Amino acid sequence: MTAVNVTTDGKTTVVEDTTTNTVSITTTGPQGPASAGFVFNGDAKVESSIVYYDSSAGEFKADTTTTKLSLVEGGNF
């Protein structure tokens, strides 16, 4: 078995190995822009809440109003 020692000093990673290896290093690509206009209120979430848009509050919500149980048992949707 080959022993590999890896140390990190800030942004520099040092790999010491006694055999010849090919090492590929990649970095995470750019992140997308922050979502604009998406306001979410999960303060009243319960088990099996389903996210819905409340136009009077101007936000998406997850609460007791809309759950898997209310949809399956003929709730208003």
Interval 43-62: pLDDT, tens: 999 999 999 999 999 999 99
How many CA atoms within 13 Å lie on the side-chain side of 77?
14
**Stated pTM of the model:** 0.47
Predicted local confidence at residue 3, as pLDDT: 67
If one counts every other C-beta atom within 10 angstroms of the C-beta of residue 66, the result is 19
Looking at the domain assignment, is residue 14 inside a domain?
no
Domain holding 68, by residue range, is: 38-77
Q: How many domains does the chain have?
A: 1
Low-confidence residues of the chain: pLDDT under 70? 1-9, 12-18, 21, 73-77
Predicted local confidence at residue 77, as pLDDT: 52
Looking at the domain assignment, is residue 57 inside a domain?
yes
- Residues, the chain, total? 77
Q: Is the dihedral of CA 41, 42, 46, 47 positive or negative?
A: positive
Looking at the domain assignment, is residue 56 inside a domain?
yes
Q: How far apart are CA 19 and CA 57, in angstroms?
A: 63
